Structure 1
Amino acid sequence: MSPNLRSLLSMRLLMRRFILRSLRPVLPILFLLAFALPLLLHIFIPEADHGSVAIAQSPPSQQEIRGVWMTSNDLDILRDRTKMQGAINQLKQLNFNTIYPVVWNAGYALYPSTVTQQSGIQPFVYKGYEGQDMLADLITQAHAQGLLVIPWFEFGFMAPPSSELATQRAAWLTQRRDGSQTSISDAGEVVWLNPFRPEVQKFITDLVLEIVTQYDVDGIQFDDHTSLPNDFGYDPYTIALYTRETKKAPPPNPLDQAWMRWRANKITAFMVQLNQAVKAKKPKAIFSLSPNYYDFAYKMHLQDWLGWLRKNIVDELVVQVYRPNLESFQEQIVRPEIQEAQQKIPTGIGILTGLRNKPVSMSLIQAQTQAARDRGLGVAFFYYESLWDTSPESAPERQAGFQALFVNPAVRSAI
């Protein structure tokens, strides 16, 4: 090795030793920065989207539900054109936007129904005092004021045992394991149409399509009675159907999970078909549902409405939360299934404004309504007459109370 080259190498070695001695005090800091820098970059610089990162979605923009049910207790208003016009005007002034008029109650259609007349189960026709079609009159007046009209199939598969529907179509009824056919509901003693029979499904479908096609409605609503009490389904037809499909007899315990699921799934399948039939006739019709809270609906009445929601057959949900105080009301409106519904469709809470023998104070109505609205939920009140005609406060006081709740209009339109 030449002297010059040896001298050059020695100089480089000396320089390297000098650099290492100089850096030795700060080496721990450099190592720390080496580990911390990637973490800091991850925190402060957004990661590029390569299709594998889940991003939370905000709820869709929804129109607030401000509705009221018109029940059979409101027939005097429905049948009197002048009273009807006054009711519509009042609801418009108080910034309501939706009316749910009853059209199926106690085994009878509350409109001139060709379906029920041809079936021979309705010997009379509900008409207004001037002979008018009550439903057509309501729709005309409500639409003129910009309110939606979504007729309500209140009784679903339920009927009084004395109705022509029950007496003339006895084969359509289902029963318990002991052979009994009636149960006690809010409407009194009732029987239940068998939701698994094709004849029953066709009858309900024909009624619904009659409404959708013959009237300028904005949708159709079903409630907690589009269901079946969990101890029903032991009629010969259903037993044979279950045995054929599962190769075993229905269990004696009506709460058997597989037996409950089979019956609930059958009701779900019918509702899917009903939704398809409605949409085929009127694609923009709102397919509305007003059930009880989910645990009760499924366990007690085989109504798997959360499954219906996930199958995308529900366009609007109004969960009935009729509670006597604010605390129990608030417990119900925070349930996860309600939050899930809010992410997809207009969602509201049904609030009791009073019964003829059980008035509800305006202060409680306001507190429950505000609690629902604070969570981004709409509201619907049960029922029209109890808004201010049968109440502990005067009608002007009640109307002022609703005006304070809905200061500004909330316009709704069909989907």
Structure 2
Amino acid sequence: MRRPGVRPVLIVAAVLFGVAVLGIGLVRAATYDPPGAGPVAAAQAGPGVPGRCGNVPVRAARELRGMWLTTVMNIDWPSRPGLPKEQVQAEYRGWLDLAVSMRHNAIFVHVRPSGDAFWESKYAPWSEWLTGRRDGRSPGWDPMEFMVAEAHARNLEFHAWFNPYRGTQPAPSGPGADFGKLAPGHPLLKHRDWAISYPEGARARLYFDPGNPDARRFVEDAMLEAVQRYDVDGVHFDDFFYPYPEGGGHEFKDDASFARRADKSQGRADWRRANVDTLVREMSERIRQLKPWVKFGISPFGIWRNAGTDKAGSDTHGLESYDAIYADTRKWVREGWLDYIVPQLYWAIGFDRADYAKVLPWWSALVKGTGVQLYIGQGDYRVGEKGPWSRPDQLDRQLTLNDRYAVQGSVHFSAKQIRRDKLGAVSRYRDHHYAAPALLPTMRRLPARAPAAPRLVSARQAGGTVELDWQPGPGPEPASWALYRVDGAAADLVAAGRAGAKVADPSPPAGGAAYCLSALDRSGNEGPVSAPRDLSP
């Protein structure tokens, strides 16, 4: 996950080891409708229109709300490598409980940070950020199965976050480019011709060569292994394909690969972009063949190209991912290879080189009519920095702009910053924009089998909540439910959960209320609501 100009891993390394992170002279970090409850609309048209609760319409926000849970260098979780299973699990549950308290409905977990794995893989060694060892030995349990099950129990979508081409992390935090320090069985030991070291010296790491078709197929297989074996809801990449330029004259040494494999009409840059395009296209196709209900999304650097370089670009003056890291993010959207895109817009409103208020409309216009959903990567980690980030309202104002441009969700970087809540900024945007729960946006591409209307069997007061018993209707089995409470001229969403979870209103009004329930399929398509159930004093 790239911060504006400096990767978070390098930021941490700089703090821990006193490494000066070099700039590259571009964009760098020096770098419902009562207000705030998020976009609320009448229930969506399409499969399973929920309709009305009695004689009033039902209303629910439809937006993705999530956070990145970073494992590399133990930035978020686990808090340190080599912890016992019970502590690792307890910490993870704590992060999920934080997500629930924020009224999130998705989590993005780093499961392949550096050519390693948080599951027992035949393609990659166990991650040392989990085990505390670089010997490839199993921790003795299945973290992925646990992580997915715990997320689903809380009605959170689980997006498995992969870094395709990174093979190692730099020393001293990782093995760097030293083959002798790789875990036994590491694929780059067996296939050294797949490995490219970049940059040089202590900051070097090994990459799988994106230009080598065998290496590309291998990393695809490694990621799809997790999709095949686990009940993930999404496959997620951030912005690490070809490495960001480090400056200092360092070159990514793929000369031999380029000479052997490039079409004679291709320059180096076009060839590299074609290699990344192929990875993205093939992953899209293979995920859809393997599990068509699994979503595929990427979180790229927030600038495709500047308008000064390309009139189709954004009104910015920063690093261009198209040219610097060979990521043609605009093409991926236009070709429909993605289900969602999450540009990392980690800049303040009014920032001269990349103004949030100018970059956001560019992305909104790009996705229009494509069927690709736009979520925004929000820079929670920047709160407390000098300038506009020293005020607690920056993220709040950005989410307000998101509503104006019909953004369909936000993902916050990262979990630790949400928990810290510097300046009260997180609490502020939660109360203003996430005051009520939200259902996930539906996607036209995904399978749709909206369940029939359920039946509310009984309702009762239980301490400070109202609990309801229900039975599903005939036909497709529901994956989840949505509970609506009548309040005046509408029935608003007050809770949502998995099909096996207890249905309850966590904060019922003292005077009682009428409720309706709907059922949803795995893709979030909502069936018609039940008949109302009145619970009066």
Q: Same fold (TM over 0.5)?
A: yes
Q: Distance in 1 between matches of 2:138 and 2:240?
A: 22
For residues 66-85 of structure 1, what are the structure 2 equivalents within 5 Å?
66-72=65-71, 73-76=75-78, 80-85=88-93
User: What is the aligned length?
Assistant: 330
Shift of the 147–194 alpha-carbon distance from structure 1 to 2, 3 Å rule, reads: same
Paired residue for 1:3? Answer: none
For residues 217-256 of structure 1, what are the structure 2 equivalents within 5 Å?
217-227=232-242, 232=252, 234-242=254-262, 245-246=263-264
The match for 1:124 among 121, 125, 136 is 136
Q: CA deviation at 1:183?
A: 6.8
Paired residue for 1:379? Answer: 410
Contact 2:333-2:366 within 8 A present in 1 as well: no
Where do 5+ consecutive residues of structure 1 fail to align? 1-58, 176-180, 251-257
Paired residue for 1:91? Answer: 99
Paired residue for 1:55? Answer: none
Partner letter of residue 66 of structure 1? R
Deviations 1:120-176 (A, max 9, x none): x9632575xxx543322221111112111111114644633346259624321347x
Deviations 1:97-134 (A, max 9, x none): 1111001113322333222149xx9632575xxx5433
Partner letter of residue 195 of structure 2? L
Q: Distance in 2 between matches of 1:156 and 1:409?
A: 36
Q: Distance in 1 between matches of 2:121 and 2:417?
A: 28
Deviations 1:252-271 (A, max 9, x none): xxxxxx43223212321232
The match for 1:388 among 412, 416, 419 is 419
Contact 1:95-1:403 within 8 A present in 2 as well: no
SS, match of residue 115 in structure 1: coil
Q: Distance in 1 between matches of 2:433 and 2:364?
A: 22
Q: Which has the higher strand share?
A: 2
SS, match of residue 78 in structure 2: helix
Contact 1:174-1:233 within 8 A present in 2 as well: yes
Paired residue for 1:302? Answer: 326
Q: CA deviation at 1:90?
A: 2.9
Shift of the 228–188 alpha-carbon distance from structure 1 to 2, 3 Å rule, reads: closer
Contact 2:383-2:422 within 8 A present in 1 as well: no
Paired residue for 1:51? Answer: none
Partner letter of residue 182 of structure 1? P
Shift of the 134–404 alpha-carbon distance from structure 1 to 2, 3 Å rule, reads: farther
Q: CA deviation at 1:233?
A: 5.9
Q: CA deviation at 1:307?
A: 1.4
Contact 1:260-1:302 within 8 A present in 2 as well: yes
Identity %: 19
Q: CA deviation at 1:60?
A: 9.7
Is the aligned partner of 1:331 residue 2:355?
no
For residues 146-157 of structure 1, what are the structure 2 equivalents within 5 Å?
146-154=155-163, 156-157=165-166
Q: Which has the higher helix share?
A: 1
Partner letter of residue 155 of structure 2? G
Partner letter of residue 285 of structure 1? V
For residues 19-98 of structure 1, what are the structure 2 equivalents within 5 Å?
63-72=62-71, 73-76=75-78, 80-98=88-106
SS, match of residue 103 in structure 1: strand
Paired residue for 1:10? Answer: none
Shift of the 195–323 alpha-carbon distance from structure 1 to 2, 3 Å rule, reads: same
Is the aligned partner of 1:182 residue 2:210?
no
Q: Distance in 2 between matches of 1:275 and 1:303?
A: 16
Shift of the 321–222 alpha-carbon distance from structure 1 to 2, 3 Å rule, reads: same
Task: Name the Cα RMSD after superposition.
Answer: 3.4
Is the aligned partner of 1:141 residue 2:150?
yes
Paired residue for 1:172? Answer: 194
Where do 5+ consecutive residues of structure 2 fail to align? 1-43, 47-60, 80-84, 127-132, 170-175, 246-250, 306-319, 441-521, 525-537
Partner letter of residue 350 of structure 1? G
Shift of the 109–329 alpha-carbon distance from structure 1 to 2, 3 Å rule, reads: same
Q: CA deviation at 1:189?
A: 4.2
The match for 1:411 among 439, 445, 466 is 439
Q: CA deviation at 1:232?
A: 3.5
Q: CA deviation at 1:80?
A: 2.6
Contact 2:346-2:378 within 8 A present in 1 as well: yes
The match for 1:278 among 287, 305, 311 is 287
Between 65-74 and 84-93, report the one with greater CA deviation. 84-93
Is the aligned partner of 1:112 residue 2:120?
yes
SS, match of residue 192 in structure 1: strand
Deviations 1:19-77 (A, max 9, x none): xxxxxxxxxxxxxxxxxxxxxxxxxxxxxxxxxxxxxxxx9999422111000212226
Q: Distance in 2 between matches of 1:114 and 1:64?
A: 36
Is the aligned partner of 1:369 residue 2:399?
yes
Q: Distance in 1 between matches of 2:239 and 2:297?
A: 12
Shift of the 166–366 alpha-carbon distance from structure 1 to 2, 3 Å rule, reads: farther
Between 379-388 and 225-234, report the one with greater CA deviation. 225-234
Paired residue for 1:317? Answer: 341
Partner letter of residue 336 of structure 2? N
SS, match of residue 108 in structure 2: strand
Q: CA deviation at 1:341?
A: 1.2
Q: Distance in 1 between matches of 2:241 and 2:300?
A: 9
Q: Distance in 1 between matches of 2:167 and 2:136?
A: 20
Q: Distance in 2 between matches of 1:183 and 1:410?
A: 47
SS, match of residue 226 in structure 1: coil
Shift of the 114–212 alpha-carbon distance from structure 1 to 2, 3 Å rule, reads: same
Paired residue for 1:44? Answer: none
Q: CA deviation at 1:92?
A: 1.9
Partner letter of residue 241 of structure 1? R
Q: Which has the larger radius of gyration?
A: 1
Q: Distance in 2 between matches of 1:334 and 1:294?
A: 13
SS, match of residue 235 in structure 2: strand
Deviations 1:321-356 (A, max 9, x none): 111455522121121x44221432221110111179
Paired residue for 2:495? Answer: none
